């Protein structure tokens, strides 16, 4: 039998998502994932396992990759969230990482891809020159049920190489 519980009021959530500020009322039991997908309509972030296992719901909060299914929206009060929709520049130009995912065909069904791109984006912000082992280790929180793991590791390593070359080139020019 369901015990009668007190009615719960919505609470104020101030949050910046993809550069846009929001002040909205949300229920305490709203996850960040549901807030993004259902309240803001940002359905690029995927819902899958809902128990902190698969990483399909990965978004970036204050430069850190986190699993949005496992965080309440109110926990992110005052913070900055980036989803897959927020990566491209306003004119629609994709990031080098997104381009590489396309070039290397790092998608099979594609469902895990937004989470993977977000994890890899945060990782490459944190580590400039990761080895392939670093990449494999850091990406272990993102599962692919199609088992298409090799392609996206290749795509990430390609970006690492390209960024390094670009940096060296710039250093030369200076």
- List interacting residues with other proteins (CB under 8 A): 3, 5-9, 11, 27-29, 31, 50-52, 55, 58, 61, 64-67, 70-72, 74-75, 77, 119, 123, 137-142
Closer residue to other proteins (CB): 50 or 94: 50
Min dist CB 169 to other proteins, Å, is 30
Min dist CB 88 to other proteins, Å, is 22
Closer residue to other proteins (CB): 58 or 98: 58
- Tell me which H or E stretch contains 32: helix 32-34
Q: Which residues pair with 82 in a beta bridge?
A: 60
Closer residue to other proteins (CB): 145 or 166: 145
Contact call for residues 129 and 152 (beta carbons, < 8 A): no
Contact call for residues 106 and 99 (beta carbons, < 8 A): no
- Cα–Cα dist 154/134, whole Å: 13
Closer residue to other proteins (CB): 128 or 140: 140
Q: Which residues contact 43 (CB under 8 A, 6 or more apart)?
A: 37
Min dist CB 74 to other proteins, Å, is 5
Q: What stretches of 32-116 adopt beta strand conformation (E)? A: 58-61, 64-67, 80-82
Closer residue to other proteins (CB): 59 or 106: 59
Min dist CB 124 to other proteins, Å, is 13
Min dist CB 2 to other proteins, Å, is 9
- Sole residue written with tokens 């272990």: 140
């Amino acid at each position: 039998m369901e015990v009668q519980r007190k009615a719960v009021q919505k609470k104020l959530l101030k949050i910046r998502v993809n550069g846009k500020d929001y002040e909205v009322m949300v229920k305490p039991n709203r996850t960040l994932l549901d807030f993004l997908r259902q309240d803001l309509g940002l359905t690029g972030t995927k819902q899958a396992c809902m128990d902190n296992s698969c990483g399909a719901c990965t978004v970036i909060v204050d430069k850190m990759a986190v699993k949005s299914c496992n965080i309440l929206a109110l926990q992110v009060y005052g913070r900055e969230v980036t989803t897959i929709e927020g990566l491209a520049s306003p004119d629609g130009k994709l990031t080098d990482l997104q381009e590489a995912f396309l070039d290397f065909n790092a998608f099979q069904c594609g469902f895990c891809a937004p989470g993977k791109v977000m994890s890899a984006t945060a990782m490459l912000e944190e580590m400039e020159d990761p080895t392939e082992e670093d990449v494999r280790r850091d990406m272990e929180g993102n599962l692919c049920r199609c088992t298409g793991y090799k392609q996206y590791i290749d795509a990430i390593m390609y970006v690492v190489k390209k960024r390094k070359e670009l940096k060296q080139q710039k250093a030369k020019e200076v």
